């Protein structure tokens, strides 16, 4: 647990994020996480193939479409989708991913570990309130 807290602090110290699975539905975590990071002063990019804009901001279909490479990618998607996203992270040289509850699979964790990608499993909303 202590390692998760330290790792959470380290990742929250990085200021450019992408939220994969961002949504316009204000009741869903894909929106709440995006909005919380944005409100906390982070540069945060919403990733979703479904929307042109989220919370008034340009949304992007993939990480590769972003104007800059994020330092941390937050996953708010089904693990079946997440597997492809973690592979895209490797292609882009992204070394830190944050896996929300329900987004984790053995395949994602094994891929991340074997490709030198740090995968933190925790809720970013809780982390923003408690360890930032």
**Model pLDDT for residues 44-84, shown as the tens digit of each residue:** 999 999 999 999 999 999 999 999 999 999 999 999 999 99
The partner residues of 129 in beta bridges, in order of sequence, read: none
Asked if residues 58 and 73 have their Cβ atoms less than 8 Å apart, the reply is no
Which residues are within 8 A (CB) of 35 and not within 5 positions of it... i.e. 6 or more apart?
Answer: 26, 55
Look-up of token digits 């894909």: 30
Question: For the chain, how many structural domains are there in total?
Answer: 1
The span from the CA of 131 to the CA of 124, in Å, is: 10
Domain limits for position 98: 2-130
Look-up of token digits 């360890």: 131
**Model pLDDT for residues 5-37, shown as the tens digit of each residue:** 889 999 999 999 999 999 999 999 999 999 999
> In which band, very low, low, confident or very high, does the pLDDT at 130 lie, cut at 50, 70 and 90?
confident
CATH number of the domain enclosing 113: 3.40.50.720
> In which band, very low, low, confident or very high, does the pLDDT at 4 lie, cut at 50, 70 and 90?
confident
Q: Are strands 72-75 and 118-121 parallel, antiparallel or unpaired?
A: unpaired
Among candidates 90, 85, 91, which has minimal Cα distance to 104? Answer: 85
């Amino acid at each position: 647990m202590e390692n998760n807290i330290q790792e959470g602090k380290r990742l929250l110290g990085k200021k450019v994020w992408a939220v994969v699975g961002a949504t316009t539905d204000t009741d869903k975590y894909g929106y709440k996480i995006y909005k919380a990071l944005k409100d906390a002063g982070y540069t945060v990019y919403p990733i979703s193939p479904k929307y042109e804009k989220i919370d008034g901001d340009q949304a992007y279909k993939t990480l590769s479409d972003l104007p800059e490479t994020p330092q941390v990618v937050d996953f708010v998607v089904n693990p079946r989708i997440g597997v492809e996203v973690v592979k895209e992270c490797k292609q882009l040289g992204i070394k830190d991913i944050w896996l929300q509850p329900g987004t984790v699979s053995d395949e994602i964790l094994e891929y991340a570990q074997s490709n030198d990608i740090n995968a933190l499993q925790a809720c970013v909303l809780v982390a923003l309130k408690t360890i930032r």
